[in-house]
Chains A and B, each alone.
Chain A
Amino acid sequence: MLNYALRRFLISIPIILIATFIIFWMISLTGDPLQDMRQLPNITTEQIQRVRDMRGLDDPFYVQYVVWLQQIPTAGFGEYLISPRPIGPDLQRVLIHTLQLVIAAEVIAFIIAVVLGTLSATRQYSIFDYTTTTLSFIGYAMPAFWFALILQVIVIQIFELTGVRILPLANLSSANPGTGLAFVWDRILHLVLPVMSLAIFSIASYSRYMRASMLEVVGSDYVRTARAKGLREGTITRRHAMRNALIPTVTVAALSFGTLLSGSIVVETVFGLDGMGRYLFVMIQSRDPYPIMAVLVITAVVIIMFNLIADLVYGYLDPRIRHG
């Protein structure tokens, strides 16, 4: 298992390097980063040239790439294009916020989806199965921003009817969040609606996968063997069926993590959360390539990490992979 994990880990290093190159290359194709600066009425050619020299914009492409790549570990993604502030602290802050949101959504979606998928597969063609099928198609088809707005409207309606603020509608923390456990609780309350908006699509999609692979597994010969041994249905489902059915579902869930990250852009914007998605959105508007590239690299690393996690869980669940 250790060998397998190490092998998977080593493979991800060149993948990250390739990702950084593609990111740098594609961003460099978007044109002159100083375009907006040139349009300022009082700007002089000398001022523009000074920024160009400072950022090495006249160097050959590969030199620029290597210089940029080197300062990722040494200078934490360097500074913003125009102002001399470092990108690192901002990035760290928004990354932590986004990971809180996205990981909570992923974990909750996965657990709910596994339970729903298992129950609808073991009760195939029951009312429960038809209900979850219908709901998951609705969840699948519903745009996240619209669902987020509906959730906000519901909370507002409840406030207007009863005078109780059950959940905060925006931001990551209250004005006075407190410290310690009070702070954590405040953060959890603030994340409820965003996590719901973000998770609904994943619940719908993962539960479909779980149902399909459960149906395949419950018809398999080894489940029949388990039944012929006199095991209880619950034991058969948990010990024999679910473990096998989880293998494809885990893969799908981990590979869909990128979808959740991109979904967080919309959700963070609707709820005004100080996360990486909204940060990226703002930076795209200000046409600063450095924070954009930083966000993309971080996103790539996170996605590759989740693929690695998927591989490890996969190896844990399936001994044939572990030994192969």
Chain B
Amino acid sequence: MTEPLLSIEGLVTQFDTPDGTVRAVDGVSYDVYPGETVGVVGESGSGKSVTVMSVLGLIPQPPGRIAEGRVLLEGNDLLTFSNAQLRKVRGKDIAMIFQDPMTSLNPVLTVGSQIAEAIETHAPDLEDDAIRKRVVDLLALVDVPNPDDRFDQYPHEYSGGMRQRAMIAMAIANEPKILIADEPTTALDVTIQAQVLEVLKRAQDETNAGTILITHDLGVIAEMADRVVVMYGGRVVETGTVEEIFHSPRHPYTLGLLSSLPRPDTDLERLEPIPGQPPSLITLPSGCAFHPRCRLGNNRERCQFETPELIELGAGRRTACHFHDEMDEQVRLIEQATGAQIEIETEADDT
């Protein structure tokens, strides 16, 4: 592939809390290339959202602070940008779709005017009529029926799915280079989820934006993502293409996520959940943050005391597990337990 559009390098975001400083994001790196969709997966509190919020400078400061790292958008480090410079990037080069469409739209302004605002602020010379026409086209693109009438309606007159589609229209209004969707379907009904994903896909095709799709829903990842970044405890624990992640996970946490996913397409007999709770960032376990919940690690000393580095296994294929070479064995064990096949692709360059 060519140069990455967006490159997050060693990002560290901290929050000062009454209980001490918390590293919500601890050395996260990943790239986004033009036109591709990067799925970011992880449980609540794994730092998925904080990472992208840091990219746009939307972390409330204080208590938040970006301590280290670089965020390169086509070679320019966004973290060194002034507020005025960042404003030009927000909504223009990088646009964002938020989780809860019920609360993410302003209840006292019409939906149309809120989308128009996104265009107007980056193109102040555009005529009102032209903006309105553009907004109506955008609403039509995202399948909002009667877009001309809907322009003047308020968010409370929209259904949940329609609001999220309006949010998508707002995000793609300026044809961004990077589209960040933060749990875009989590707050929606399952049937509506499919529609919204469909619209999101179309929006992405329309703009050819590189997309960061944050979710904890592996089904959404399977449908949408080209590459996957798995996060745990504020760190990246595995990266790879969607096939690699789904067919031969190289981190026990990823395997845990897969084996706890109901899969009607296989002869799955029972789910194999990940034991325990996601860690609190205030009292993150020593060594590998996942070790208290890890079957593979099995409380080995190395896991308890040595934080695993992210090891390069191949092009774009990385894992942060000391014992990733035992993963084939582990996958087999899980398959026996669940009675389902997790297809394993043998890759010669795996060490």
Contact = CB atoms under 8 A, between A and B. Distances in A.
B104 A222 contact: yes
Contacts of B89: 230
B103 interface: yes
A232 interface: yes
A225 interface: yes
A228 B90 contact: yes
B58 A228 contact: yes
Nearest to B180: A228
Interface in A195-233: 220-222, 224-232
A323 B106 CA distance: 16
B122 interface: yes
A319 B121 CA distance: 24
A229 B118 contact: yes
A228 B95 contact: yes
A225 B170 CA distance: 10
Given A229-B90, A240-B106, A318-B107, A221 B98 contact: yes
A244 B109 CA distance: 10
Given A221-B98, A231-B121, A232-B87, A226 B157 contact: no
Q: How large is the interface on A (under 10, 10 to 19, 20 to 34, 35 or more residues)?
A: 20 to 34
Interface in B77-102: 87-92, 95-96, 98, 100
A230 B91 contact: yes
Given A230-B92, A230-B122, A225 B154 contact: no
B43 interface: no
A230 to B, nearest CB: 4
A224 B114 CA distance: 13
A229 to B, nearest CB: 4
B100 A319 contact: no
Given A220-B103, A224-B58, A230 B108 contact: no
Contacts of B154: 319-320, 323
A243 B87 CA distance: 22
B117 interface: yes
B104 A224 contact: yes
Contacts of A323: 154, 156-157
B56 interface: yes
A240 B114 CA distance: 10
Interface in A270-324: 317-320, 323
Interface in A228-272: 228-232, 235, 239-240, 243-244, 247
B350 to A, nearest CB: 40
A222 B89 CA distance: 19
A268 B330 CA distance: 86
Nearest to A224: B58
Most buried by A among B88, B108, B118: B108
Given A221-B100, A225-B104, A232-B121, 11 more contacts: A220-B103, A221-B98, A222-B107, A229-B118, A229-B170, A243-B108, A244-B106, A247-B108, A319-B107, A320-B154, A323-B154
10 contacts: A221-B100, A222-B103, A222-B106, A228-B58, A228-B98, A229-B170, A244-B107, A320-B154, A320-B156, A323-B154
List the 10 shortest-distance A-B pairs measured between CB atoms, nearest first.
A230-B91, A230-B90, A229-B91, A221-B103, A222-B106, A319-B154, A229-B118, A228-B96, A221-B104, A230-B87
